Amino acid sequence: MRHRTSDLDRIVVVGGGRAAVAAVEELERLGFTGAVTVLAGEPHSPYHRPACSKGLLTGQRHGDVRLSTAAPARWLTGRVAAELDARRQIVYAQTGEMYEYDALVVATGASPVVPDGWPAGEPGLHFLHGIDDALGLAADLRRARRVAVVGAGLTGCEAAHVVRSMARECVMIDSNAQVMTRAVGSVTGGLIADTMRHEGVRMRLGRRVGHLSRSRRGWRLDLDDGSHVDADVVIATLGERPDTGWFTARHADTGDGLLCDESLRVQGVDRVVAAGAVARWPNAWYADQPGRVDQWIAAMEQGQAAARTLLSGSRAAPAAAVLPRYWSDLFGLRIQVIGRLDQAEEVAVSELRPGRRDIARGGVLAAHRRGGVTTGVVAVNAPRQFTTLARAMREAGAAARPVVSLPAVVPNQRRLSLVG
């Protein structure tokens, strides 16, 4: 089926990440034969962003993590969107160029959070987000002796794993009492923190950085308890904010991303869809308030869904139901997550090999539940059990999420914790 009409000949995609690439690929798969122009803000061709806290820190080059852009489109790198004229359907770039469109895909992603007063750009201070950040950090790590990681989320923990694999001292600072709180929940995050301590990561959890300054030896981080940490290199992974500053459409809601309907149409603006970390929409898997999903796989699925919605024109389009799922390997732990973990009323955690001192390495499963329904599952060193539970959740579908029974996949399991 061919999808070129007199009023949909030019599609502009703003952004050059996973969601943008997926949208372009889906447009081609669906037979769109009009002109597709991609405005990619970074000067690089698209790449696997998760590699920024993994392989790129240990010697991989850009070519090793490049995303394919084989689908026919005009890729323009180094074009940062500066302003939108939604009435005339024009995107203005920071270069002064203007790009007219019949339909627009917004996939600008998010930018790293930089605390007020932190001297971004100073040598030895890295806000780990994109490929340039990763390559600059990799060079500094070769010369560093002690590294401070501020922010114990998924990216921060992956960076700490790389630092320790290079036999560098590593101090991790986070305001939470455990690591990876948002990514795996507080209970599992506490078990992972125990493993990281065993691997030599110094933990300053429950602490905030009150002041950051240069010193003779590198950097001094003053903490809120009056203590301080000295480091040669500081890695900051303090979260992200959706990149919407350029989206100047009068009637759009840009609070915490672009507000979209269930099919990713941006509300208040005609012929515009959003995908990836910049999109806030009522995900059918959550069935409550609109929210964002910023994982890598989700960005791909949203890009595909946004393309399908564009080509549906004014007709009804399928809802974009995205079930979050992601994974990581660090400190001998295979961590796998599916579904939603926040707002859980209870977390049932089961230990696969009771009696082991390192509980996480021995295998852990955590089912996050709300209203008697399992909304998410976390597995650590339990790939077979995770596959079974994840399949059950996906087969049930967004309309009827299952209550996952741990005993069905964990024979002789011992209940480690039940948190209300």
Residue range 110-162, pLDDT digits in tens: 999 999 999 999 999 999 999 999 999 999 999 999 999 999 999 999 999 99
Instruction: Report which of 134, 83, 373, 68 is spatially closest to residue 248, judged by C-alpha positions.
Output: 83
Query: For the chain, what is the domain count?
Result: 3
| Residues of the domain holding 400 | 332-419
Residue 104 maps to a domain: yes
Residue 26 maps to a domain: yes
Q: How far out from the chain centre does Cα 7 lie? A: 35
Check pLDDT > 70 for residue 10: yes
User: What pLDDT digit, counting tens, does each position of 263-317 carry?
Assistant: 999 999 999 999 999 999 999 887 678 999 989 999 999 999 999 999 998 888 9
Distance CA 151, CA 37 (A): 36
231: CB partners within 8 A, 6+ apart? 146, 147, 148, 171, 218, 219, 221
- Give yes or no: residues 230 and 140 share one domain: yes
CATH code for position 408: 3.30.390.30
Distance CA 183, CA 374 (A): 16
Check pLDDT > 50 for residue 418: no
- Give yes or no: residues 141 and 227 share one domain: yes
Q: What is the pLDDT of residue 208?
A: 97
- Give yes or no: residues 95 and 19 share one domain: yes
Distance CA 99, CA 96 (A): 10
The reply to whether the predicted model has a pTM over 0.95 is: no
Domain stops at, among 253, 281, 311: 311
Task: Kindly report the number of other CB atoms within 10 A of residue 60's CB atom.
Answer: 16
Domain stops at, among 238, 264, 295: 238
- Give yes or no: residues 234 and 188 share one domain: yes
The per-residue pLDDT of the chain, averaged, comes to: 90
- Give yes or no: residues 218 and 133 share one domain: yes
Q: Which SS3 state, helix, strand or coil, does residue 349 take?
A: strand
Of 58-67, 89-98, 121-130, 176-185, minimum mean pLDDT range: 58-67
CATH code for position 209: 3.50.50.60
Tell me if 173 sits within 8 A of 219, measured CB to CB: no
Q: What is the pLDDT of residue 134?
A: 93
Looking up tokens 């694999």 gives: 165
Q: Which SS3 state, helix, strand or coil, does residue 318 take?
A: coil
Inter-CA distances, 207 with 159, 187, 263, 305, 331, Å = 19, 18, 41, 41, 23
Tell me if 378 sits within 8 A of 365, measured CB to CB: yes
Looking up tokens 């960076």 gives: 159
Distance CA 367, CA 348 (A): 5
| Percent with pLDDT over 70 in the chain | 92
- Give yes or no: residues 159 and 101 share one domain: no
Sheet of strand 373-380, all strands in order from the earlier edge strand to the far edge: 325-330, 333-339, 373-380, 364-370, 346-351, 414-419
Q: What is the pLDDT of residue 62?
A: 66
Check pLDDT > 70 for residue 420: no
- Give yes or no: residues 142 and 179 share one domain: yes
Structure tokens at 192: 């992972």
Give me the residues paired with residue 78 across strands. none
- Give yes or no: residues 391 and 404 share one domain: yes
Tell me if 221 sits within 8 A of 231, measured CB to CB: yes
Residue 144 maps to a domain: yes
Check pLDDT > 50 for residue 367: yes
User: What pLDDT digit, counting tens, does each position of 243-270 carry?
Assistant: 999 999 989 999 999 999 999 999 999 9
Q: What is the pLDDT of residue 412?
A: 46
Tell me if 236 sits within 8 A of 127, measured CB to CB: yes
Residue 366 maps to a domain: yes
